[in-house]
């Protein structure tokens, strides 16, 4: 079955540095991959979507890469700020017929320290 | 546009009872997906509805059911509650655009089963 792995340990970085989060998947070839941000007690908020034929996508301070050979996506936040502290989730599409069914990783908690 | 709304936000029930949760998608969105989030299992897909039809279902027992109304509002029901059903229940409405399917999550309903 499909499996998604994200770093279970929290990532602690200093303000201004670049945070890099990893998402690995197995037994699957997704058509696209998404990244979400989740704050405590709230629902996930969509950040970026990258398709299987795209290598990289950027949005302001965010950058996502997608390597279908390595079955890995990297999520970068440049010039990080304490307000970026949250849990970041990667999600894969549920495949053909998987209408609006996302398969989520467990998430990585990011803490940005002043 | 108003976001996805879920009611109630918090709910306390006892084992054996049943519960109904409600979700109103963003205006114009016809797809509603439901997810269960727990610390141990993360976000797991329950089911998805489109135009009052269930199109996809996750691996949950039959105690979990849902429906969608003609105005796209959706409800999910859990019967014979168990302690393990304590979780954050999230619904998401989906819009399909040039960038792919983007899911917009509501704030969730926190269900506690005693």
Q: What pLDDT, on the 0 to 100 scale, is given for residue B93?
A: 93
Q: pLDDT digits over B49-76, tens only?
A: 999 999 889 999 999 999 999 999 999 9
Grouping H, G, I as helix, E, B as strand and the rest as coil, residue A108 is strand
Count chain A–chain B contacts defined by CB atoms under 8 A.
Answer: 70
Residue A97: pLDDT over 60:
no
Q: Residue B59 and residue B2: Cα distance in Å, rounded?
A: 31
pLDDT of amino acid B99 = 56
Peptide bond into B8 cis (omega under 30): yes
Instruction: Determine which of A28-37, B8-17, B93-102 has the lowest per-residue pLDDT on average.
Output: B93-102
With an 8 Å Cβ cutoff, is B4 touching chain A?
yes
pLDDT value at residue A46: 92
Which tokens sit at B19?
């519960």
State the pLDDT at residue A3.
Answer: 84
Q: Higher model confidence: residue A32 or residue B11?
A: B11
Query: In chain B, pLDDT over 90 holds for what percent of residues?
Result: 77
Chain segment A55-96, per-residue pLDDT in tens: 999 999 999 999 999 999 999 999 999 999 999 999 988 665
Q: What mean pLDDT, rounded, does chain B reach?
A: 92
Does B107 touch chain A if contact means CB atoms closer than 8 Å?
yes
A21-25, A62-66, B14-18, B39-43: lowest mean pLDDT where?
B39-43
Average pLDDT, chain A: 91
User: Higher model confidence: residue B24 or residue B55?
Assistant: B24
- Looking at residue A52, its pLDDT comes to 87
Q: CB under 8 Å, gap of 24 or more: what pairs does A49-55 form? A: A49/B99, A49/B100, A49/B101, A49/B102, A51/B100
Average pLDDT over residues B90-109: 83
CB atoms within 10 A of CB A57: 17
* pLDDT tops 80 at residue B95: no
Q: Which residues of A touch B (CB under 8 A)?
A: 32, 34, 36, 41-46, 49, 51, 89, 91, 93-94, 97-107
CB contact under 8 A, B43 and A45: no
> Residue A77: what pLDDT?
98
Taking residues A108-113, what's their average pLDDT? Answer: 96
Q: Can you tell me the mean pLDDT for B85-110?
A: 86
Three-state SS string across chain B, please?
A: CCCCEEECCEEEECCCCCEEEEEECCCCCCEEEEEEEECCCEEEEEEEEECCEEEEECCCCCCEEEEECCCCCEEEEECCCCHHHCEEEEEEEEEEECCEEEEEECCCEEEEEC
Which residues of chain A lie closer than 8 angstroms to B102, CB-CB?
34, 46, 49
Q: Which two tokens stand for residue B80?
A: 């014979």
């Amino acid at each position: 079955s499909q499996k998604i792995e994200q770093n279970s340990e929290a990532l602690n970085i200093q303000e201004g540095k670049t945070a890099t989060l990893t998402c690995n998947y197995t037994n699957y070839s997704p058509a696209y991959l998404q990244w979400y941000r989740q704050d405590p007690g709230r629902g996930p908020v969509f950040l970026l979507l990258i398709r299987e034929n795209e290598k990289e996508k950027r949005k302001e301070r965010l950058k996502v890469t997608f390597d279908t050979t390595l079955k890995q996506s990297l999520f970068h936040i440049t010039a990080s700020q304490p307000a970026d502290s949250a849990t970041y989730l990667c999600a894969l599409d549920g495949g053909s017929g998987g209408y609006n069914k996302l398969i989520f990783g467990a998430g990585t908690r990011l803490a940005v320290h002043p | 546009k108003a976001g996805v709304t879920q009611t109630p936000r918090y709910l306390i029930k006892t084992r054996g009872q049943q519960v109904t949760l409600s979700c109103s998608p963003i205006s114009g969105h016809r797809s509603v997906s439901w997810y269960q989030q727990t610390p141990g299992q993360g976000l797991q897909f329950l089911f998805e509805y489109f135009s009052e039809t269930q199109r996809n279902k996750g691996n949950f027992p039959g105690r979990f059911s849902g429906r969608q109304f003609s105005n796209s509002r959706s409800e999910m029901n859990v019967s014979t509650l168990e302690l393990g059903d304590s979780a954050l229940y999230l619904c998401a409405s989906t819009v399909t655009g040039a960038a792919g399917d983007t899911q917009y999550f509501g704030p969730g309903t926190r269900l506690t089963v005693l």
